């Protein structure tokens, strides 16, 4: 077990639930956090409830851990204020707490929506400029920039994992390109936590899908080798979904339906 105490934020969410058991292999103690109650700690776990917008609570959540897997936050497009509080103020509070408490490595759940306005007929690398497809994608781009600053200024290493679509199975045709299995997500996080020199890195979180829009050649040093593929679901997904309207922005851009969400109020 590489880590003595590992913090997982967003533990009550979809990916938090999927990772709770899997991440126990990575650490002696897994500290789980969310703002909503998700039950008691089991053996080898600690539970610390905290709202990411509350700097004091975030400091207490981070104290004593040696690495962080940061999944907590608003995970879809929507009104600005909750995104501002959870994803922008929240990620600042997290890195300030990491700095004050000497945490040296973070895996940050970024999103493909940082680059959602690239087209589905182009392949991009981590060197392509951000093209967020909404307020949510912008908040994740902020997290990527903030974590780069904390690396340059304070030496805190971060992997920004631009997760594609991490669900039990791909739900639609777009997700055949963007799908990341839960086991591959765990493999990817493990690679980020254990690679000797992480630096500040951006990696697209995807399984070994035949069709892809993302090239991870800039992240070879992380040593992530996906073992699952959406390809086994292809026939079933095609059978239950119709031919997409190729003039629909949701079928043109990588971000899918997110590119036409909103506008939202505050």
Task: Show which residues are catalytic.
Answer: 136
Write out the residues near ligand 15L by the rule CB under 6 A: 75-76, 111-113, 165, 178, 256
The reply on whether position 75 binds ligand NAI by CB under 6 A is yes
Among residues 10, 116, 137, 255, the one that binds ligand NAI under rule CB under 6 A: 10
Give how far the C-alpha of residue 51 lies from the chain's centroid of Cα atoms, to the nearest Å: 18
Query: Residue 140: is it exposed, middle or buried by C-beta count within 10 angstroms (0-12/13-18/19+)?
Result: buried
Binding mask 152-191 for ligand NAI (x = CB under 6 A): -----------x-xx-------------------------
Q: Which does 131 bind (CB under 5 to 8 A by kind): ligand 15L, ligand NAI, none?
A: none
Can you list the alpha helix ranges (DSSP code H) found in the chain?
14-22, 55-62, 80-83, 90-101, 135-154, 175-178, 182-194, 234-240, 249-252
DSSP 263: -
CA-CA distance, 125 to 228, in Å (whole number)? 21
CB of 92 to ligand NAI, least distance (A): 12
Q: How far is the CB of 255 from ligand 15L (least distance, A)?
A: 7
**Contact between 192 and 222 (Cβ < 8 Å):** yes
**Minimal distance in Å, beta carbon 42 to ligand 15L?**
26
- 50 prior amide bond cis, ω within 30: no
Window 78-97: contact mask with ligand NAI (x via CB under 6 A): -------xx---x-------
Residue 94 interface partner, choices ligand NAI, ligand 15L, none, CB cut-off 5-8 Å depending on type: none
Q: Of all residues in this chain, which one has the CB nearest to ligand NAI in the complex?
A: 13
Nearer to ligand NAI, 34 or 133 (CB): 34
How far, in Å, are 9, 14, 40, 43, 55 from residue 207 at the CA level? 23, 18, 32, 31, 35
């Amino acid at each position: 077990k590489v880590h003595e105490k590992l913090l997982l934020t967003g533990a009550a969410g979809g990916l938090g639930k999927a990772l709770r058991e899997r991440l126990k292999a990575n650490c002696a103690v897994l500290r789980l956090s969310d703002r909503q109650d998700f039950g008691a700690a089991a053996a080898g776990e600690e539970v610390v409830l905290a709202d990411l917008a509350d700097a004091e609570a975030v400091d207490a959540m981070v104290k004593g851990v040696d690495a962080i897997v940061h999944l907590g936050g608003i995970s879809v497009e929507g009104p600005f204020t909750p995104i501002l509080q959870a994803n922008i103020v929240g990620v600042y509070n997290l890195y300030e707490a990491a700095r004050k408490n000497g945490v040296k490595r973070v895996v940050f759940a970024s999103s493909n929506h940082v680059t959602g306005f690239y087209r589905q007929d182009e392949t991009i690398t981590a060197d392509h400029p951000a093209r967020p497809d909404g307020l949510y994608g912008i908040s994740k781009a902020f997290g990527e920039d903030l974590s780069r600053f904390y690396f340059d200024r304070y030496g805190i290493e971060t992997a920004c994992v631009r997760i594609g679509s991490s669900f039990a199975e791909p739900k639609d045709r777009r997700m055949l390109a963007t799908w990341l299995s839960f086991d591959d997500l765990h493999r990817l996080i493990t690679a980020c936590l254990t690679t000797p020199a992480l630096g500040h890195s951006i990696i697209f979180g995807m399984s070994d899908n035949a069709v892809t829009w993302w090239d991870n050649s800039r992240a070879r040093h992380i040593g992530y080798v996906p073992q699952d593929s959406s390809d086994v679901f292809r026939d079933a997904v095609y059978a239950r979904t119709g031919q997409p309207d190729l003039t629909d922005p949701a079928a043109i851009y990588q971000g899918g339906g997110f590119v036409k969400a909103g506008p939202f109020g505050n």
